[in-house]
Structure 1
């Protein structure tokens, strides 16, 4: 009778996969935690709608700036140690957000929490190829990617529900969860062999990317897309509170429904990609998102708006892997660098998008101004992605 017992090596691979999932889920959840808290934080800290958006941007800015140097530095250091240091700082600084006494202290703690996250998460992506057999790398990275995808689904409603007790409790809960993950990483995450890259080797990946026109254009397209994407996403909660009078619990319910669309797109969108191909899928997905925001801009009813936003997020979950595949297509040996730069592009886009969208949301009625901003960014991104494909050697 055939045995089903797994070897120690296989169990180790499973451990790396689930620890990668947990790490990316916790960090990803914290990324999206603040959006539903903005209405309450604005009242607590007595700031304008425009200023409150910077509590989202501060985290993204800290991550983006730190990621630019953390990736190359980690190539010559102990990845496991950097992972543990980053998660330790992340847990402490997230708890510090719950102790913030004013707008500027909160912004500072969010910035530093983002920087700590940028120390930790690149080590997950870089360690997996060194820790698991070649035939399990994709599956294990899929676990880490799933952590991020589910975090995007859970982060916003989780923040809203936790805030029903206290906005401070939201940060304390994430900090406790991060401390638990840190303990698991300390005990179970295996050592990672140091690389022997020569001095200056870490910059070669950046040179390879920046001298490739298709990659540069694709990264710019991704940045533009995420600028519009997070400009809109970050103000869903503020719109529901201002125009429809929803409290934090009501916002959480709406966000669960909207996030369900994103999860469905992420889980099942690959079937359409297999049928249509990457180019057509990207075009259809972005056009659907732009059309959805156009309809959102003209609706004045809550339920149709929530339904449209769910469809938009479904399309977003569908096109995200296509965009990542487009970025990776011409990366060659610089895949890690492209992944790092795509993260920087996303968080930089979040920072700029929220900074622009705050005044736009405050000065326009409904969701019209923010929707127009997102539509413009999507269409420009689509043109740039098309240009990147055209510039790629055949």
Structure 2
């Protein structure tokens, strides 16, 4: 069990590192490829667009397949496509390879979220989810800054490093993870549409996914041009920007570790409401900070709270219907990446039109406020949130 926990942590670590890597590299790649600021965000958006679109297919299919094989195949393709990013000759080939990496991630990351409730006893699920999410947080604390340092020598190095490490993880998955074949569905050809029906017909499910979209729309917009803002405002180099992101990731890591204890001490409603309101105020105030040291502390604080909230959101999503966790996890991934795609695009447009980061902070605050209101109105934060409300229809 411990080996699988570590392995899931590392899988999410490489996925997260690859997802967030472009942010501190935007100034370098923008200059090298000769693209305007408004277009630069699409080097992030291409990845998230591929993941968002193909996750909608990957989830229902994986509910009818052996999750181990899906995870293994996704990791291998992810490794190859990420390595190819390091050979990109221009802006459009970089977008193409990032798109392929996103498609591969769509078949990889959701298998981790769906496998945890299958492989671990109920008492350990929330903690293991927290550890897996800590892999994403650690990717910001360690993976992205390390990538920034490697990029200081050559921008291609971090892509090659991630690709090679992903291949090693694929080997570990082959030996350490057991088969996870669907119960009672062997030989059945899964119906993509029918797997989504229980979610589409539930008001609570629709509200939960909409709230999840808003929170990622706002947070991804703020993160996408963080490196650009710090370069413009504080004249930081690419490796210095990576050092700032260390504090962001450390806060996220701390929050994800503490998440189960905070939720237990309070309750889902109080945790979500208090956390969201604090983060909204912080994001709106952040662009007016004049010291890079205060920025480090502010982002540590913001992402510590987000590190508490995101595992809570994943748990709420998984509670909607235990019978189709693969579909739920992939739809959550698709929702997150669709939000990240639009968030990166909106951040670039707002940054150019309003000549700075302040408008991005306001946009983020509005998105998080919408997310909180939808979470509350959907009813998913009630005492019955842990029970599956969506009734499963026969699938296959």
TM-score > 0.5 by shorter chain: yes
Q: Which SS does the other structure have where 2:24 is aligned?
A: helix
Q: Does the C-alpha gap of structure 1 residues 41 and 217 become closer, same or farther in structure 2, counting only changes over 3 Å?
A: same
Corresponding position: 1:229 with 2:222: no
Query: Where does residue 156 of structure 2 map in the other structure?
Result: 168
Whole-angstrom CA distance in 2 between matches of 1:326 and 1:134:
14
Query: Where does residue 217 of structure 1 map in the other structure?
Result: 207
- Asked if the contact 2:62–2:326 (Cα under 8 Å) also holds between the matched residues in 1, the reply is no
Q: Does the C-alpha gap of structure 1 residues 393 and 259 become closer, same or farther in structure 2, counting only changes over 3 Å?
A: closer
Q: Radius of gyration: which is bigger?
A: 1
Q: CA deviation at 1:28?
A: 1.8
Query: Where does residue 95 of structure 2 map in the other structure?
Result: 107
Structure 1 stretch 189-198 or stretch 13-22: which is displaced more? Answer: 189-198
Whole-angstrom CA distance in 1 between matches of 2:323 and 2:31:
49
Q: CA deviation at 1:117?
A: 1.4
The runs of 5 or more residues in structure 2 that have no matched partner are: 385-396
Query: Where does residue 177 of structure 1 map in the other structure?
Result: 165
Q: How does 1:128-167 map to 2 (within 5 A)?
A: 128=116, 131=119, 140-167=128-155
1:336-375 Cα distance to aligned partner (Å, 9 max, x none): 4322221111111000010111011123344201101101
Structure 1 stretch 67-76 or stretch 230-239: which is displaced more? Answer: 67-76
Corresponding position: 1:362 with 2:332: no
Q: How does 1:198-209 map to 2 (within 5 A)?
A: 198-200=188-190, 203-209=193-199
Corresponding position: 1:52 with 2:40: yes
Q: Does the C-alpha gap of structure 1 residues 76 and 281 become closer, same or farther in structure 2, counting only changes over 3 Å?
A: closer
1:194-242 Cα distance to aligned partner (Å, 9 max, x none): 5542445554441111111111011101101100100001111111111
Whole-angstrom CA distance in 2 between matches of 1:378 and 1:141:
23
Q: Does the C-alpha gap of structure 1 residues 89 and 379 become closer, same or farther in structure 2, counting only changes over 3 Å?
A: same
Query: Where does residue 3 of structure 1 map in the other structure?
Result: none
Q: CA deviation at 1:312?
A: 1.4
- Asked if the contact 2:247–2:299 (Cα under 8 Å) also holds between the matched residues in 1, the reply is no
Corresponding position: 1:346 with 2:336: yes
1:88-127 Cα distance to aligned partner (Å, 9 max, x none): 1111111100000000000000000110111223333444
Report how many residues are paired.
382
Query: Where does residue 291 of structure 2 map in the other structure?
Result: 301
- Asked if the contact 2:47–2:99 (Cα under 8 Å) also holds between the matched residues in 1, the reply is yes
1:233-269 Cα distance to aligned partner (Å, 9 max, x none): 1111111111111001111111112222222222224
- Asked if the contact 2:106–2:330 (Cα under 8 Å) also holds between the matched residues in 1, the reply is no
Query: Where does residue 179 of structure 2 map in the other structure?
Result: 191
- Asked if the contact 1:214–1:391 (Cα under 8 Å) also holds between the matched residues in 2, the reply is no
Q: CA deviation at 1:129?
A: 5.0
The runs of 5 or more residues in structure 1 that have no matched partner are: 1-12
Alignment equivalent of 2:261, drawn from 265, 271, 276: 271
Q: CA deviation at 1:186?
A: 3.0
- Asked if the contact 2:13–2:143 (Cα under 8 Å) also holds between the matched residues in 1, the reply is no
Structure 1 stretch 218-227 or stretch 123-132: which is displaced more? Answer: 123-132
Whole-angstrom CA distance in 1 between matches of 2:371 and 2:318:
17
Q: Does the C-alpha gap of structure 1 residues 304 and 126 become closer, same or farther in structure 2, counting only changes over 3 Å?
A: closer
Whole-angstrom CA distance in 1 between matches of 2:37 and 2:320:
41
Query: Where does residue 66 of structure 1 map in the other structure?
Result: 54
Structure 1 stretch 214-223 or stretch 257-266: which is displaced more? Answer: 257-266
Q: Does the C-alpha gap of structure 1 residues 380 and 128 become closer, same or farther in structure 2, counting only changes over 3 Å?
A: closer
- Asked if the contact 1:16–1:128 (Cα under 8 Å) also holds between the matched residues in 2, the reply is no
Alignment equivalent of 2:74, drawn from 86, 108, 111: 86
- Cα RMSD after superposing both structures: 2.4
Whole-angstrom CA distance in 2 between matches of 1:31 and 1:305:
22
TM-score after normalising by structure 2: 0.89
Q: CA deviation at 1:187?
A: 3.6
